[in-house]
Structure formats: structure tokens, C-alpha cells
Amino acid sequence: MTATSDVELPDTSTIRNPATGAVAGTVRWTDPADVPRIAAGLRQAQRQWEARGAKGRAKVLARYAVWLGDHRDEIESLLIKETGKSAVDAAQEVPLLIMIASYYVKTMEKALAPEKRPAPLPFLSIKKIEVHYRPRPVVGIIAPWNYPVANALMDAIGALAAGCAVLLKPSERTPLTAELLLRGWLDSGAPEVLALAQGAREVSEAVIDNADFIQFTGSSATGAKVMERAARRLTPVSLELGGKDPMIVLEDADIDLAAHAAVWGAFFNAGQTCVSVERVYVLESVYDKFVDAVVRDVEKLKMGAGEGFDFGSLIDETQVAVTARHVDDALAKGARALTGGKRPESEGNFYPPTVLVDVDHSMLCMTEETFGPTLPIMKVASVDEAIRLANDSPYGLSAAVFSKDIERANDVAVELDCGAVNINDVISNLMCTTAPMGGWKTSGLGARFGGADGLRKYCRQEVVVAPRTNVGAGGNYYNNSPKALKRMNTLMTKLALITPKRAAK
């Protein structure tokens, strides 16, 4: 994922389309010294937002979802100008947000309701125990550039639903769509509990220093810096970081389906997707057939920004350079490029879809996150070898397994060290709003949206213990006579051992 920039920015900047160089718009950067004031305003507004309750907030979120749908063309047009995406890639973002918002509108009241807990021991049955989910006042969201609409709001929607105010720091590479999304929030009649802080590193640091929870999406290296700074104030964080997602193709897989999935999973959004397919392990008996099918599909792809193209440009020269470095390293070490392999001479930050074979783990394209349009394919002798190689990575975001035997694929899936596994599909776990989305190892900490946990992550748990009756109240206060102590020790020993003795039988 993208790292937070260290570049110092002027007061205003012109943002250009990375595919054409044309002006996409201008942005006014936030003075880091203003962030405490912005956060203070959000913190004050949040009180009334929380007081609306889940039902009241759900109505506001529903209106905003309608606004997103009504303004989808406007959002996607600006998205293409700002990122150089193809129209088909840009078309994925708003629907995902509407789907997440729709899910929470229907479920947030139940998810955030006080939760009754049973008494742990019989003598405590005189108490009513409830867990309340109280929103953290200000959630800081530091979003990346690869999906500037979806990655900004998929987290913000959950935080707003939970009753928090949100301070959003978009990537300095893609700040324009965030301005439009904020306008839509206010135009739909929502209160001022969503605000922007535009800028680079210093603004990110100010957001971390003034928020009560941080949701960060970006590189693993920058995620560690975010966590380190947040630790100064013991601010909790949720980190969705880099990935090097493996795909395993077993000998009984539907090869055409697996090839289609690999091509789309690798080159969707020009490979600039945290859960893109970055390496493929194919059983040797079907390897040649799979490679042929992949090359056939790739040769049909059209590269360019806007309508009529399959995938667009990379965000900037930095991403082009990383992709080229990984490809050049692989070729120098004996790999072959069956498609692409060299940057075109045309203008724009384009790199062609590149299928690499004869690859191994000595090559950067198999071990480092590329975040570009490459698809390295490695032949393996056994399922065990495929699993071992898939797990041979510091990353653990998601993975894919292809086999006609679903039970067998499940067995492989649970041996992979990652946060999600798709069977006979890729990336589809992102659509599963009922399940968490998060990574293992250096791919992250915590999880993003998904079920009740996607709301509760933004809350503090408050336990309220109330009496059912006044009987027994105060019976143990400072009663330290020898008789009372003996009676208490006998009772507690018996009660504490009831469950272990039963379970041990």
C-alpha cells in the first residue's frame, strides 16, 4: 500500500491526471497547526451525534447513501481525472460504499445495543450485567491513494455509524475526491461530524496527535510509524497494510476460471490493490495449460484511462519505478516476460500487464510488494510446496485457492497464514460486509469493516453492573471477623471449583 509522504507542500497545489498530465483540480492544504482546532470542533459536535442514537444516525447515513448513488457519475468522473483509472475500475468504488452503508443502516441498532451478560456464579445472579458500546469521540482516518473514494469512506461509514466524529486525511496524491465526498455529506443534511485535513506527513502526525482512534491504510513501514506515534498517547489503532497475496492452483482446478481470476486479480486497478494477486503457485501437471490461458487473457486487455479500457495508469513515477525494478530484477535472474516487461514510450504513468514465468523466491517480484501490474507464476511439485511457499512471506493479507474439490480447497485454505482466503475466486472477501477484513503478520493489526465488530472497534466498552434486588447488598463490606473470613473462603473455594470439577469428568 502507499506510504505517507514526507514531502512538504505549499499552501495550494494543482493536482494532475497521472495518465495524461491534464489538470484535475486544485487543493488548499491544511496548516498542521489548525488540526487541533478542527478536532476540537468535531469533538464538540460528536456529543449530539451520539445522542441521536443508532436509529437517528441510520437515517442520516441512508440519506448519504442515496446522495452517493445520485452523484455517482460526478464522483467517478473526478476519480478518473485524479487517478488515471479506467472507467471499469472507477466504477467499483461507489457501489461498495453504498453496500457497506446499507448493511450498517440495517444492522447498527442491534450491533450497538447494550449487551446483557450472564452472572458468572450463582451468588452473583442478584446483579444485572450489561456491556455498553460508547463511541470514541474523534476517529482519525489516514487514507491511501489507490481507492480514494472507497478506502476513505469504507472506514468512515463505520465510525460515523458507531456515533464517532471523523477527521479524514486523504492522500496528498488524491485529495480532490475527498472534497466532493465531504460536500455530499453536508448536502445530504448531515451534521458537521466529518471534516478533512489535507496534507502530507506533518498533517498526518497532527491527526494522530488529536484523534481518539486511528484507522490507517498504507505501507507496512509507515503503519509501524503511525503505531509508534499513536503509542505516545496510548491511542488505539487499526492498521490495514501491505500484502503479497498468493494464489494456489491445484491440478483439479477449472483452469480457465483460475486464469481469468488471476488476470483480473493481478491487473485490476493496474495492480494497485492491497489484495491483488501478486504471485501464483501452480501444480506442475496443469502449469503449461494455466500459463497459456493467462497469456491469452492478458493479450486481450486494453490499457488506458477512462472508458473503453480495462485498466489505467499507475499513480506516479514512483510506482512505475517499483514495478520496473521488480521486473528487471526477475529478468536478470532468469525469469521470462511472456507479456509486457517494458514501459511503453507513450506519455503517462503506464506499465503494461506483465506475466513472468521461471520465477522463484530469489526474485523481488515474489517477495516484495509490487503494487503494480505484474503476474509472476511459479511451478510447484506438490500442494505442500505451494502452501510452504505461500506462507514464506512477511505479509499475510489474503489468498486464493482454486480446486473443484471444495473440501480439499478448504483444507488448504486453513493452512495459509493470512486474514482471508477466497476459494475459486479472488478479492471477493471485500464484498463480505458481514465478515472482518484484516491481515496477519506485517499486513496489519485489527480489522476493517465486517459485522458488528466493524462498528464496535470504534467504541469503548463500558460495563454497567446494577442490582436486581437490595438483598445481600453490603454484606461483605469490611466484615473481617475470623468467622466471616472462614465462611467466605469456604464459599469461594466451592463456587470456584464447581465448573472445573464438572468439566474434568
Q: Are residues 162 and 276 in the same domain?
A: no
Q: Are residues 133 and 279 in the same domain?
A: no
Q: Are residues 73 and 189 in the same domain?
A: yes
Question: Do strands 194-196 and 165-169 pair parallel, antiparallel, or not at all (unpaired)?
Answer: parallel
In a domain, 21, yes or no: yes
In a domain, 178, yes or no: yes
Rounded to the nearest integer, the mean pLDDT of the chain is 93
Q: Are residues 366 and 401 in the same domain?
A: yes
In a domain, 500, yes or no: no
User: ∠45-49-53 over CA atoms, to 5°?
Assistant: 160
In a domain, 370, yes or no: yes
pLDDT of residue 8: 59
Which of 76, 164, 205, 274 is flagged as catalytic? Answer: 274
Q: Each residue of 278-327: pLDDT tens digit? A: 999 999 999 999 999 999 999 999 999 999 999 899 999 999 999 999 99
Query: Residue 179, by phi and psi: left (phi above 0), alpha (psi -120 to 50) or beta?
Result: alpha
Spatial contact of 100 and 158, defined as CB atoms under 8 Å apart: yes
**How far is Cα 117 from Cα 216, in angstroms, rounded to an integer?**
32
Q: What are phi and psi of 69, to 5 degrees?
A: -65, -40
Q: Are residues 231 and 253 in the same domain?
A: no
**How far is Cα 122 from Cα 126, in angstroms, rounded to an integer?**
8
**How far is Cα 47 from Cα 41, in angstroms, rounded to an integer?**
11
In the DSSP assignment, the letter for residue 2 is: P
Q: Are residues 87 and 133 in the same domain?
A: yes
pLDDT of residue 1: 43
pLDDT of residue 299: 97
274 belongs to the catalytic site: yes
**How far is Cα 488 from Cα 477, in angstroms, rounded to an integer?**
12
Q: Please identify which residue in the block is written with the cell numbers 438483598.
A: 471
In a domain, 488, yes or no: no
In a domain, 477, yes or no: no
Residues whose CB is less than 8 angstroms from the CB of residue 82 and which lie 6 or more positions away in sequence, other chains included: 15, 17, 24, 25, 148, 174, 176, 177
Q: What are phi and psi of 299, to 5 degrees?
A: -65, -15
Mean pLDDT over 371-387 rounds to: 98
Q: Please identify which residue in the block is written with the cell numbers 482454486.
A: 402
Q: Are residues 192 and 295 in the same domain?
A: no
CATH number (domain holding residue 325): 3.40.309.10
- Does position 15 have pLDDT exceeding 90, yes or no? yes
Q: Are residues 302 and 226 in the same domain?
A: no
Cα separation of the two ends of the chain: 52
SS (H, E, C) 229-244: HHHHHCCCEEEECCCC
Q: Each residue of 130-164: pLDDT tens digit? A: 999 999 999 999 999 999 999 999 999 999 999 99
CATH number (domain holding residue 187): 3.40.605.10
pTM for this entry: 0.92
- Does position 34 have pLDDT exceeding 90, yes or no? yes
Three-state secondary-structure class, residue 245: strand
Helix-helix angle 150-162:53-70, to 10 degrees: 160
SS (H, E, C) 457-468: CCEEEEEEEEEC
Q: Each residue of 349-365: pLDDT tens digit? A: 999 999 999 999 999 99
In this structure, the dihedral spanned by the alpha carbons of residues 58, 62, 64 and 67, taken in order and rounded to 10 degrees, is: -170
Q: Are residues 212 and 286 in the same domain?
A: no
Which of 240, 278, 368, 369 is flagged as catalytic? Answer: 240
Domain extent, residue 24, equals 12-241+449-460
- Does position 24 have pLDDT exceeding 70, yes or no? yes
In a domain, 483, yes or no: no
pLDDT of residue 476: 61
- Does position 378 have pLDDT exceeding 70, yes or no? yes
Q: Are residues 271 and 337 in the same domain?
A: yes
**How far is Cα 49 from Cα 161, in angstroms, rounded to an integer?**
10
SS (H, E, C) 30-98: CCHHHHHHHHHHHHHHHHHHHHCHHHHHHHHHHHHHHHHHHCHHHHHHHHHHHHCCEHHHHCCHHHHHH
- Based on the structure, what is the number of domains in the chain? 2
Q: Are residues 261 and 281 in the same domain?
A: yes
pLDDT of residue 126: 85
The model's confidence at residue 473, banded by pLDDT at 50, 70 and 90, is low
Q: How many residues does the chain have?
A: 505
More confident: 31 or 475 = 31
Mean pLDDT over 106-114 rounds to: 97
Q: Are residues 118 and 257 in the same domain?
A: no
In a domain, 495, yes or no: no
